[in-house]
Structure 1
Amino acid sequence: MLGYILQRILAAIPVMGFVALFVFLLLRLTPGDPAAIIAGDTATPAQLEAIRTSLGLNDPLFTQFFRWIGQLFQGDFGTSIISGKPVIELIAARMEPTISLALTTIVLSVAIAVPLGVIAAWKHGTLIDRFVMLLSVLGFSVPVFVIGYLMISLFSMQLGWFPVQGFKPIGDGVGKFFHTIALPTFTLTLLYIALIARITRTSMLEILGDDYVRTARAKGLPESRVLMRHALRNCSVPIITVIGIGLALIISGVVVTESVFNLPGLGRLTVDAVLARDYPVIQAVILLASLIYVVINLLIDIAYVILDPRIRYA
């Protein structure tokens, strides 16, 4: 197992290198000039040229790339072109809202979706099953930003239960924290409940027809024990897979959600950096997201072995 983990870590190195090269070239070959954004509309060509020279944007692309890679190996993600602050400080300051939103979303989604999927499979063909499938279709069909604006219209503007925007860190009080994070969490949760519940239902339907489940029922075991100890446990691998994929997808989902609810997280930082053509910030955030994807995939593979002892890695 240890050898497999080391192999996966080593395999991630060229993946991260390719991502770094792709992002670097994509940003610099697309239209837009950070110098023009910094200098403003009234800047002269000489001023623009001076800014580009000071930022190193006039250097050849390979020089800029290897300079950036060298900084990464030293733990330096560069300095924001717009704010002039170290990128690592900007990311650290924006981590709490994003992590809070991701964790509350995935915990609430799993807590609701897995029981829904189990019940839908158990009551296959009934109104409960159809309701769960309808919820799944709606969750997949409606864009996140539409759900977000509907949530704001209903629960913030009409009922006044939650604030329209903003974020309070947990250090300011648990009540204030959940009051501000609740609406964005519910918005993202609707999407991931649909994903996890559908996979749980499908996996449970395949397991419930197996011989060992019928044998457990024939022994007179309670239905709850048959469902949870025998069926759900043996179909946990695909469920864990989709939960891991959902956690990785939340990274992209928070970009839209944080913009809708004006949360000061990484998603909002990314949007602002893209609009300002702030190369160092965009590169650092995308690399961080790619690293999270790699780590989540590794954790999923490790979870396979824990949940199903029959799985072995050479």
Structure 2
Amino acid sequence: MIGYIFQRILASIPVMGFVALFVFLLLRLTPGDPAAIIAGDTATPEQLEAIRDSLGLNDPMLVQFFDWIIRLLQGDFGTSIQSREPVLKLIADRMEPTISLALTTIVLSVVIAVPLGVIAAWKHGTLIDRFVMLLSVLGFSIPVFVIGYLMISLFSMQLGWFPVQGFRPIGNGAGDFFHRIALPTLTLTLLYIALIARITRTSMLEILGEDYIRTARAKGLPEVRVLMRHALRNCSVPIITVIGIGFALIISGVVVTESVFNLPGLGRLTVDAVLARDYPVIQAVILLASLIYVIVNLLIDISYVLLDPRIRYS
């Protein structure tokens, strides 16, 4: 197992290198001039040239790339072009809202979606099964921003139960934290409930037709034990895979939700950086998202051994 983990870590190095090269070239080859954004519309050509020189944008592209890689290896992600603050500090300041939203969403989604998927498979073809499938279709079909605005209209503007926007750290009080994170969490949860419940239902349907399930029922075991211990445990690998990938997707893809609810997380930071052509911030955020994917996939592979004793890594 240790050798396998070490091999996966080594294999992730060229992946991260390719991502770094792709992001660097993509940002440099797309239209737009950071110097013009910084200087404003009234800047003279001499002022623009001076800003480009100070930012190193006039250096050859190959020189810019290797300078950036060397700084990365030294733990220096650069300085924001827009705010002139260290990029790592900007990311650290924005991590809490994004991680909080990701954790509350994935926990609530798993708690609701897995039992729904199990019940839908158990009651295959009934109204309960059709309701779960309808919920899955709606969750996939309705855009996240539409769900967000519907949530705001109903629970904030009409009922007045939750604030429209904003974030409070959990250190300032758990009550205020959950009060403000509730609507964004519910908005994303509807999407991930649809995904996880559908995968759970499909996996359970395949397992419930196996001979050992019929044997367990023939032995007189309670139906709950058959479903949870024999069926769900043996179909947990694809479910865990979807949950892990979903967690990585939430962290790296909450741009729309954070914009709708005005959460000061990584999504808002990414939007602001893209609009300002802030190269260092965009590069760091994309690299961070790629690193999260690599780590989550490694943890998913390790969990397979714990869930299925037949799986061995050498």
Question: What residue is the counterpart of 1:54 in the other structure?
Answer: 54
What percentage of residue pairs aligned between the two structures are identical? 89
C-alpha separation in 2, matches of 1:252 and 1:81: 22
Per the normalisation by structure 1, the TM-score is 0.99
Q: Secondary structure at the match of 1:83?
A: coil
Question: What residue is the counterpart of 2:69 in the other structure?
Answer: 69
Q: Secondary structure at the match of 1:167?
A: coil
The letter of the residue matching 1:209 is G
C-alpha separation in 2, matches of 1:282 and 1:136: 33
C-alpha separation in 2, matches of 1:181 and 1:215: 46
Question: What residue is the counterpart of 2:247 in the other structure?
Answer: 247
Question: What residue is the counterpart of 1:112 in the other structure?
Answer: 112
Question: What residue is the counterpart of 2:294 in the other structure?
Answer: 294
Deviation at 1:91, TM superposition (A): 0.4
C-alpha separation in 1, matches of 2:72 and 2:299: 25
Deviation at 1:22, TM superposition (A): 0.3
C-alpha separation in 1, matches of 2:94 and 2:129: 40
Residue 98 in 1 paired to residue 98 in 2?
Answer: yes
Per the normalisation by structure 2, the TM-score is 0.99
Deviation at 1:252, TM superposition (A): 3.8
Partner deviation per Cα, 1:117-163 (whole Å, 9 max, x = no partner)? 00000000000000000000001111111111111111111111111
Query: When the two structures are aligned, how many residues end up with a matched partner?
Result: 314
Which runs of 4 or more aligned residues in structure 1 lie more than 3 Å from their structure 2 counterparts after TM superposition? none
- 5+ residue gaps in structure 2? none
Question: What residue is the counterpart of 1:235 in the other structure?
Answer: 235
C-alpha separation in 2, matches of 1:262 and 1:32: 26
C-alpha separation in 2, matches of 1:251 and 1:140: 19
Residue 17 in 1 paired to residue 17 in 2?
Answer: yes
Partner deviation per Cα, 1:207-261 (whole Å, 9 max, x = no partner)? 1111111111111111100100100001000111111111122134311110111
C-alpha separation in 1, matches of 2:254 and 2:82: 23
Q: Secondary structure at the match of 1:125?
A: coil
Question: What residue is the counterpart of 1:178 in the other structure?
Answer: 178
**8 Å contact 2:99–2:251 — kept in the other structure?**
no
Deviation at 1:116, TM superposition (A): 0.2
Q: For residues 157-306 of structure 1, what are the structure 2 equivalents within 5 Å?
A: 157-306=157-306
Aligned CA RMSD, in angstroms, stands at 0.6
The letter of the residue matching 2:200 is T
**8 Å contact 1:105–1:189 — kept in the other structure?**
yes
Question: What residue is the counterpart of 1:39 in the other structure?
Answer: 39
The letter of the residue matching 2:49 is E
Question: What residue is the counterpart of 1:84 in the other structure?
Answer: 84
Q: Secondary structure at the match of 2:27?
A: helix
